[in-house]
Amino acid sequence: MIFTRVCTLVFAVLLAQSAIAAPNTPTDDSKALKEKLADTLSVKVHSLEESPISGLYEALTDRGVLYISKDGSKLFHGNLYDLDKGMKNLTEAAMAGPRIEMMKPLEDNMLVYKAKNEKHVVTVFTDTTCGYCRKLHNEMQEYNDLGITIRYLAFPRRGIPSANADEMESIWCAADPLQAMTDAKGGKSVKQEKCDAKIAEQYNLGQSFGVNGTPAIVLEDGSMIPGYQPPAALLKVLEATN
């Protein structure tokens, strides 16, 4: 893992040097850079700002963070780390704030397992078929007892469209979605239902956050933990970030 991170950093530095050597495009050409990214990669660019590396812009897109040279000729996709700050993931830090705002339009579509004495709220991109998603769900009472409210967003791992996505739509459209989720994660069949559950929108949001597996847990500050966290361990992380 460290080797991979170091390789990412080395590549980023080499790319930055290449970008610095090229003629810099004036900052008012950001519109042209956004259009080039959209046309070349078929991505939607939410914002384009100076990156932590001189000579590169940081583009927040619907497929995560991309780095592009100011002349628009070089592109880097990967995580940047700060060696002087304990290998802080700068790419993840750049996504934290925007994630909070980007989730708001879908809050009414979340399946919420609310803690009685709520202290923390996390949002989990989940799938009915993944083993660790089922493990997390089976421990829902433990999370709630610790004051952690769990909000679910759908991330069907087989994509859109798929039978997986159809099942998740049926859960979201059920008369009792919370029970339907419990049934599905317990291996029971769920009655097929259809409604405007916005499963595709939830899935696309996950992709824009950089989700590539489930469960993916978004904390209250917008940072994201890939993978399952036991209840007590998640509580420690939440207490440390507040």
Of 121, 113, 236, 117, give the one whose Cα is nearest residue 185.
113
Question: What is the number of helices (H) and of strands (E) in the chain?
Answer: 9, 11
Residue of 5, 62, 71, 130 with catalytic role: 130
Of 206, 203, 178, 175, give the one whose Cα is nearest residue 191.
175
Concerning whether 166 is annotated as a catalytic residue, the answer is: no
Decide: 234 and 143 in contact? Cβ < 8 Å. Answer: yes
Concerning whether 196 is annotated as a catalytic residue, the answer is: no
For residue 177, cis peptide bond before it (omega within 30 degrees of 0): no
Three-class DSSP category at 205: helix
Phi and psi at residue 198, to the nearest 5°: 60, 40
d(CA 5, CA 10): 9
Angle at Cα 81 formed by Cα 53 and Cα 4, nearest 5°?
120
Residue of 63, 127, 151, 173 with catalytic role: 127
Concerning whether 99 is annotated as a catalytic residue, the answer is: no
Residue of 99, 134, 151, 157 with catalytic role: 157
Of 62, 63, 93, 96, give the one whose Cα is nearest residue 80.
93
Concerning whether 134 is annotated as a catalytic residue, the answer is: no
Residue of 63, 99, 133, 173 with catalytic role: 133
Indicate which residues carry an active-site annotation. 127, 130, 133, 157
